[in-house]
Amino acid sequence: MISQASFRTHPSPLESGLHLDGKRMTPQRKKVLSLFEEIGSGIHLSAEEVHSKLTSTGDKVSLATIYRTLRLLVKMTFLNELDLSEGGNRFELLSHDHPDHHHLICIRCGRTEEFENNEVINAGEVAAKNFGFKLLESSLNVRALCPICINK
Amino acid sequence: MISQASFRTHPSPLESGLHLDGKRMTPQRKKVLSLFEEIGSGIHLSAEEVHSKLTSTGDKVSLATIYRTLRLLVKMTFLNELDLSEGGNRFELLSHDHPDHHHLICIRCGRTEEFENNEVINAGEVAAKNFGFKLLESSLNVRALCPICINK
DNA sequence: AGCGTATTGAGAACTGCTTGCAACTTGTAA
DNA sequence: TTACAAGTTGCAAGCAGTTCTCAATACGCT
């Protein structure tokens, strides 16, 4: 039998983060985070999409667990939650080297593009400071029509 | 009997806007818009809040009509729709002298403050142009903790 | 290995919002 | 004025996304 403990593997950031808090590493949690790591940062999935991507590869995870896990991963700052309205929130891998990024959304077909702009980030920081708020996250959502949808 | 037509009142912008499009002026529509005009621009209400404010003063309007009317008023650019997530969208009077404004929201107690920043607006315009999108609206939402909620 | 407790799965429940339809209004044209 | 077509309302049912309940299961500490 191969023992997990026979050679000490580095605990992943997810695992150690969980343990710090009395929480546990589970296959479900690992799978959800891996999925986001595989597709890379900058791509957003809805809870439903995460669920169907995982179950389509034979894994069995319940939708309720997906929701719970997504919430957890957001709180642990592994994921970023976007609310582009129109049918559910979306989640993406939070890459800590990029700062917040912003979204350009076609309200008709849902196509979204990302961009970054330091002045926007800065504006959020200044506003928070002026009102004595502690900034958590800022998101600029630009609602627009993409080239294809303009003529519909 | 006092006749409505005995002296010609100026049709309101709402009324003429409606008529341009074959739509009709109804007491419900008037009440919803008046409510927003009374409380002034910069204050956001959820559909539920609009409903309870109207019904609490004795008026009878169904929630479904509130939703339909809010959507209509947004399309007619009398109102602005904000999606600050966390339990429903909110609406506010759109004052056309202000351009888009941005929101600083306490995610714990819901307190929201507004601010304006032309660079943010500009960033949205530039991004839309770069991707060939037609800009409709941009909104910067800064999620934060207000001074009171920071220590909770 | 054993045990306390966190976590999962399944489905019911909830929330915010939309829709279908019959009854009712509005605006217009006679 | 009146009459009538078309827009609008209210109600209740429906829907999508998300959360909750609780019994069964699995982590991980000792």
What structural domains and CATH numbers belong to chain A? 7-97 (1.10.10.10), 99-152 (3.30.1490.190)
Query: Is A27 (CB) below 7 Å from strand D?
Result: yes
CB A145 within 8 A of CB A108: yes
Protein CA B61 to sugar C1' D9 (Å): 9
Closest CA to A72 of A128, A124, A30, A37: A30
Structure tokens at B12: 């309101």
Nearest-nucleotide field for A46 (CA, C1'):
D17
CA dihedral over A42, A46, A47, A49, signed as positive or negative: negative
B120 interface with A at CB cutoff 8 Å: yes
Nearest-nucleotide field for B85 (CA, C1'):
C16
Q: How confident is the model at residue A7 (pLDDT cuts 50, 70, 90)?
A: very low
Q: How many CB atoms are located within 10 Å of the residue B148 CB?
A: 12
CB A41 within 8 A of CB A98: yes
B102 contacts in chain A (CB < 8 Å) = 123-124, 127
Structure tokens at A34: 């891996």
Convert the pLDDT of each residue in A40-91 to its tens digit. Answer: 877 888 999 999 999 998 888 999 999 999 999 988 888 888 766 566 787 8
Q: Any bridge partners for residue A46, and if so which?
A: A90
Q: How confident is the model at residue A26 (pLDDT cuts 50, 70, 90)?
A: very high
The single-letter code of the amino acid at B112 is: T
Strand C: which bases are under 7 Å from protein Cβ? 5-12, 15-20, 25-28
The larger pLDDT score, comparing residue B30 to residue A20, is at: B30
Q: Which residues of chain B have pLDDT under 50?
A: 1-8
- Dist CA B149 CA A133 (whole Å): 9
B148 interface with A at CB cutoff 8 Å: no
Tallying the residues shown for chain B, one arrives at: 152
Is A50 exposed, middle or buried, given 0-12, 13-18 or 19+ CB atoms closer than 10 A? buried
Q: Any bridge partners for residue B135, and if so which?
A: A144
Query: Is A88 (CB) below 7 Å from strand D?
Result: yes
The terminus-to-terminus CA distance of chain A in angstroms comes to 62
**Per-residue pLDDT at A133:** 87
Q: How many CB pairs under 8 A join A and B?
A: 121
